[in-house]
Amino acid sequence: MLRARAPRSFPGALRRGLTFWRRSIQARVVASTVVLCALVIATMGWLLLQQIRDGLLDRRVDAVTHEVAGEIVEVDDLLSQASGQEDASVQRGDIVDVILDRASTRGYGVVVAGPAGEGVRIAQGGTSSSGDYDLASVPVSLEDHFQTIGAARAWTYADLGTLDDQGDVVRHEPGIVVGSQISLPADGATYTVYFLFPLEEQQSTMDLVTRALLTAGGLLLVLVAGVTWLVTRQVVTPVRMAREVAERLAAGRLQERLRVSGEDDVARLATSFNQMASNLQRQIRQLEELSRVQRRFVSDVSHELRTPLTTVRMAGDVLHDARRDFDPVTARAAELLQMELDRFETLLADLLEISRFDAGAAVLDLDDVNLVDVAHRVVDSTRPLAEQHDVRLRVLAPDHPCLAEADVRRVERVVRNLVTNAIDHAHVGGVDRRVGTADVVIHVAGDEQAAAIAVRDYGVGLAPGESAMVFNRFWRADPARARTSGGTGLGLSISMEDTHLHGGWLQAWGRPGEGSQFRLTLPRHVRHPLRQSPLPLVPEDAPEPVR
């Protein structure tokens, strides 16, 4: 079980970590500060270690070179005192023993090689040494330097090997090798003495300094991280509180405010934020009250006008029925009165419907509705209006039903508004370039998820940006143009409210001089989310835009 969970938990932890990294300013600031401080501390520590190492080595080199110079002087004095002896081998052995004994008591090693100038190498034998140092510790470059008689004293860094009792190298340590030549007066030969000085103390000092710097650097990074966390917390915490309050304000809790403490910049920001929230709350409440008064006014006026309208309607009907007994001018006035009364009643009905939407009192009477039947019924009811304005209607629908769960009365009202709007904006002589037989074409389609009706006209069209404004209340694309269908300017707004009530889409497309298309899309089941429409919003016969 544990092996099966591990692959799933790691990506989840990684995603949570990345989410925390993206969302937390505090974490990014702390991490950036720690990384930068680590780079600075590492650079400074490296430079400090280099200076300490160079200083220790320089002092050690000076000390060993002075010590070697003193040893050589003492050896030369011993050689001068023994120059009168006749046995050269005894003289050389005594001098070598003295050098080796002095080396063993002073903590360094000595290798005596020679004679010089004969090509004899240390590895070939004939070499005396003290201590447990490997003869190979003497660098070949230094050995080559002393192959010539009279070579000057020289030194170099080397890796000193230490031998065990069996003669195997068991340890390597850094050191300094100093070489100098001496001459034996008895046989006139020149020998090279190599002094091997280990750097154990200097290495220990460097290790101690390195540990101290690492410890101090680590503690400093922890301290910097803590200080940065505390400092950023003082700045980020008010920002987080402001974000939470802003989210609650956006959710409608307008009474939320930030807590103000102190007089610094953050406190002043909180005060300004609270003042802004108070102003927004006051303005929103004013707008809500104004909207409520407006809706109540519209509702009250619509209801109050029904009583006098009924009386005027009765009188108008009497005058209209008796218009044949009037003179032509009075008869025409009676006809105009009847037409305007019809329009006034339609306006009142639309205002009452809008007021119901504003009050949230609109409800649906749901049933399975076939949009094909709806399209034919709307065309039949609007055909007299279309013929009156020389506009021909045509329905393009499939043979099978296009069903949607909807309120049939509201859906028919939406489609009727779209068709009458198309008749109102269709120019005489407009022709469907695809079928060639109608000025206004109603397309119907459906699938398992949705059903749609699209109303296409070839009239004045819509300018850029007007496809969204066309559903505003009382909005008209051309205020100077008179209405031919007697609309109130609320039809498309009511249609949009009806569509939203079903959870559907009502969209518009148009181009100037190329007509427009309005598409109603309803979910197969009410309020199910829509992902696509069975009909395209841009008609297939729309010409390509000029680029």
DSSP 267-281: HHHHHHHHHHHHHHH
Q: Are residues 322 and 278 in the same domain?
A: yes
Domain count for the chain, please give it. Answer: 4
Look at residue 528 and tell me if it is in a domain.
Answer: no
Residue 422 domain flag: yes
Contact 460, 425 (CB under 8 A): yes
* Rounded-to-integer distance, Cα 233 and Cα 239, Å: 10
**Are 358 and 371 contained in the same domain?**
no
The conformation of residue 171, written as its DSSP 8-state character, comes to: E
Query: Does 3 fall in a domain?
Result: no
Please tell me the distance from the alpha carbon of residue 51 to that of residue 57, in angstroms, as a whole number: 10
**Are residues 282 and 247 located together in one domain of the fold?**
no
Q: Are residues 519 and 480 in the same domain?
A: yes
Q: Which amino acid is at 71?
A: E
Strand 440-446 versus strand 393-396 pairing type: parallel
Is residue 204 a contact partner of residue 212, using CB atoms and an 8 Å limit? no
- Say what the pLDDT of residue 476 is: 64
Q: Are 318 and 431 part of one and the same domain?
A: no
C-alpha to C-alpha distance for 345 and 309, rounded to whole angstroms: 8
Structural domain of residue 407, as residue ranges? Answer: 367-523
The string of pLDDT tens digits covering residues 275-330 is 888 888 888 888 777 777 766 776 676 667 777 877 887 887 888 788 888 888 88
- The tokens for 157 are 């860094």
* In a shared domain, residues 22 and 122: no
Q: What is the pLDDT of residue 83?
A: 57
Q: Please check whether residues 310 and 432 belong to one and the same domain.
A: no
Which pLDDT belongs to residue 8? Answer: 52
Give the pLDDT confidence score for residue 336 in this predicted structure. 84
**Do 185 and 221 belong to one domain?**
no
Q: What residues contact residue 473 under an 8 Å CB cut-off, 6+ apart?
A: 354, 489, 490, 493
Name the stretches of the chain with pLDDT < 70. Answer: 1-10, 79, 81-98, 102-105, 119-120, 123-131, 167, 185-187, 294-295, 298-299, 301-303, 350-351, 354-361, 427-438, 474-489, 544-547
Asked whether 377 and 515 are in contact (CB, 8 A), the reply is: no
Q: Are residues 241 and 261 in the same domain?
A: no
Element (H, E) at 112: strand 109-113
- Flag whether 54 is in a domain: yes
pLDDT at 431: 46
Are 183 and 212 in the same domain? no
Domain boundary among 251, 273, 288: 251
Position 530: which residue type? L
d(CA 72, CA 78): 10
* Residue corresponding to tokens 């007994």: 325
CATH of the domain at 140: 3.30.450
pLDDT at 125: 60
> Where is the domain boundary, 362, 377, 400?
362
Looking at the structure, tell me whether residues 247 and 284 fall in a common domain. Answer: no
Same domain, residue pair 385 and 417: yes
Given 335, 362, 389, the domain boundary residue is: 362
Residues 481, 509 contacting (CB under 8 angstroms): no
SS3 at position 133: strand
Residue 241 resides in a domain? yes
Q: Where are the beta strands (DSSP E) in 365-477?
A: 367-370, 393-396, 403-406, 440-446, 450-457
Q: What is the pTM of this model?
A: 0.50
Q: How high is the pLDDT of residue 428?
A: 43
CATH number at residue 399: 3.30.565.10
CB 466 within 8 A of CB 419: no
Structure tokens at 326: 């009037």
Domain assignment present for residue 541? The answer is: no
Structural domain includes residue 4: no
C-alpha dihedral over 488, 492, 498, 499, to 10 degrees?
170
Cβ-contact 367, 405 below 8 angstroms: yes
CB 213 within 8 A of CB 52: no
Q: Which tokens is 333 given?
A: 């006035």
The domain that holds 343 is classified in CATH as 1.10.287.130
Q: What is the pLDDT of residue 186?
A: 62
Supply the pLDDT for residue 6: 46
Residue 390 lies in a domain: yes
